[in-house]
Amino acid sequence: MRRTSTSLVAGALVATLAWASAPSSPAVALDPAAGVADLALDINKILSDSRLTIARAGVVVKSAATGEELYSTDAGKLMTPASNTKLFTAAAAVETLGLDYRFPTTVLNGGRRIGSVINGDLVLRGTGDPTMLAEDYDALAAAVARSGVKVVTGKLVADDTWFDSVRLGNDWAWDDETAYYAAPISALTASPDRDYDAGSVIVTVASEGGKVKVTTTPETDYLKIVNKATVGTETDVLVERQHGTRTVVITGTVADSYQEWVAVDDPTAYVAALFRKSLAKHGVRVLGPTVPGAAPEGAAELAAHESMTLGELLVPFMKLSNNIHAEILVKAMGRKAANQGTWAAGLKVSTDFAKANGVQVINMRDGSGLSRRDGFSAGSIAQLLGAVRSKPWFQAYYDSLPIAGNADRFTGGTLRSRMRNTPAANNVHAKTGSLTGVTSLSGYVTSADGEPLVFSIMLNQYLSGAPKDIEDKIAIRLSQFSRANAADVPASPQLRATGDSGAGDLECSWLKPIEC
């Protein structure tokens, strides 16, 4: 049984009588307490959905202006947040690193230079930039060539020591190891596109001239492609990297074209392969092998690239719910605060930040929410959302959240197909979260009275079909909330499909190239 605040239960009885005796239209004027009770009654009706009969629901609504609790059910229960975890990661990262923080990537002379020859090693050093593209590594190689270097007698050293060597979260699912949304974390990584899906490669399978052609973006021979697919009358193809290897096996039938984002096995080795190829293209020969390692003290800089600012990175990170950005930021925080680019050090920063802002119920195991051992309460999320409103960086944080019903991909993000043509459209700014059996939606909405509200909706352990429409109904009801008037809307408004495109329980952004 769900527990609702005692004051709301009493108020709901008053609202029931008032609502039952009032005409359905126009809206009936009520005192402020009755408006709150009317809200509680409607949310309770929405949560009575049969899909939640055996599930768990934690919901909190507060006035952002006063902190007054307007609705609460199981507010203190520990629940799986999925990508709502990113709300904490993003806030702690901006507080710790600053909106102007950038990730530098440098090329260093690790030997002694004589004319056009480096007697010694050439070092490529990264600090975790998730926005590096193959073209950026190519630009670094071109800069090395422009500096006059033609020959490196030693090795190409890939320096990823800014972070530790632990690539995957301890609690991540084994069968996600090849998925781009769970790609390995490294201080040297590369993205195939401007969604900045670091640590992955796009594999394109197409039917051309009666044969199946396979290409990669970026073009690379780092992956070993085993093409077993055949031309058919429909496209039903599986692109799968074998666990712990560089081998990608393609099976099934291909009628037109299909793309799959595939995580590489080792981002550092992959980046080094891209960079070495670019060096050769620009006329720089490295005589020795490629090895991992650390740059020697005092190594001279030959070329450098800086990422966009963290303030700019918040947009693809939060709008598209990018897991790799979250984990890179965790390790970057650890490096900044404790000189340790580890999950443990970074998660301590996030947890300490949350506790300093009044959050009580929190268990962070990673920065993205991939771990099923992450635990938050709806009350804790609402507390964080309220607390950060006073931060000098709040506007950038708020603007980075997906916006309901806004079709622009980098504005609406994972909410771009939800709550369209409702009072919540272009009003609700909130973070989505999805795992199998888990969905969450937490953020901000402005009421019909113009009052800013914070809310957190967490639904766990349902058995079929992600009930995201329940989240949407609550969010729409909040956008219509008035302290002075009962909402002239059905308790369970009918909604169009939430835009999962048949995607089930996964974050829409995880299922490229499906748009949601």
Identify the H or E element spanning 263: strand 257-263
Strands 112-114 and 117-119, bridge-based pairing: antiparallel
Q: Does the active-site annotation cover 155?
A: no
With CA atoms as reference, report the closest residue to 274 among 179, 169, 132. 132
Q: Which of 62, 77, 86, 512 is catalytic?
A: 86
Could you tell me how far CA 263 lies from the centroid of its own chain? 16
Do 214 and 228 contact (CB within 8 A), yes or no? no
With CA atoms as reference, report the closest residue to 346 among 366, 362, 376. 366
Do 89 and 369 contact (CB within 8 A), yes or no? no
CA torsion, ordered 63, 424, 89, 497, to nearest 10 deg: 140
Q: Collapse the DSSP code of 38 into the 3-class scheme (helix H, G, I; strand E, B; otherwise coil) and give the result.
A: helix
Task: Please compute, for residue 404, the number of CA atoms within 13 A of its CA located in the half-sphere on the CB side.
Answer: 29
Q: Which pairs from 12-19 meet CB under 8 Å and 24+ separation? A: 12/37, 12/40, 12/41, 12/44, 13/37, 15/40, 15/41, 15/486, 16/41, 18/486, 19/486
Q: Which of 186, 278, 307, 321 is catalytic?
A: 321
Peptide bond before residue 218 is cis, with ω within 30 degrees of 0: yes
Q: Does the active-site annotation cover 321?
A: yes
With CA atoms as reference, report the closest residue to 351 among 375, 335, 328. 375
Do 224 and 247 contact (CB within 8 A), yes or no? yes
DSSP structure class, residue 202? E
Q: Which of 72, 83, 191, 479 is catalytic?
A: 83
Between the alpha carbon of residue 262 and those of residues 283, 316, 455, the distances in Å are: 31, 19, 35
Q: Does the active-site annotation cover 371?
A: no
- Residue 192 token pair: 């195939």
In b/e form, how buried is each residue of 3-22, taking b as 16+ CB within 10 angstroms?
Answer: ebbeebeebbebbeebbeee
Q: How many CB atoms lie within 10 A of CB 170?
A: 10
Vertex 435 angle, CA 433 and 441, to 5°? 20
Residue 82 and residue 71: Cα distance in Å, rounded? 22
With CA atoms as reference, report the closest residue to 222 among 190, 194, 254. 190
Q: Collapse the DSSP code of 262 into the 3-class scheme (helix H, G, I; strand E, B; otherwise coil) and give the result.
A: strand
Residue 181 and residue 183: Cα distance in Å, rounded? 6
Catalytic residue positions, numbered: 83, 86, 321
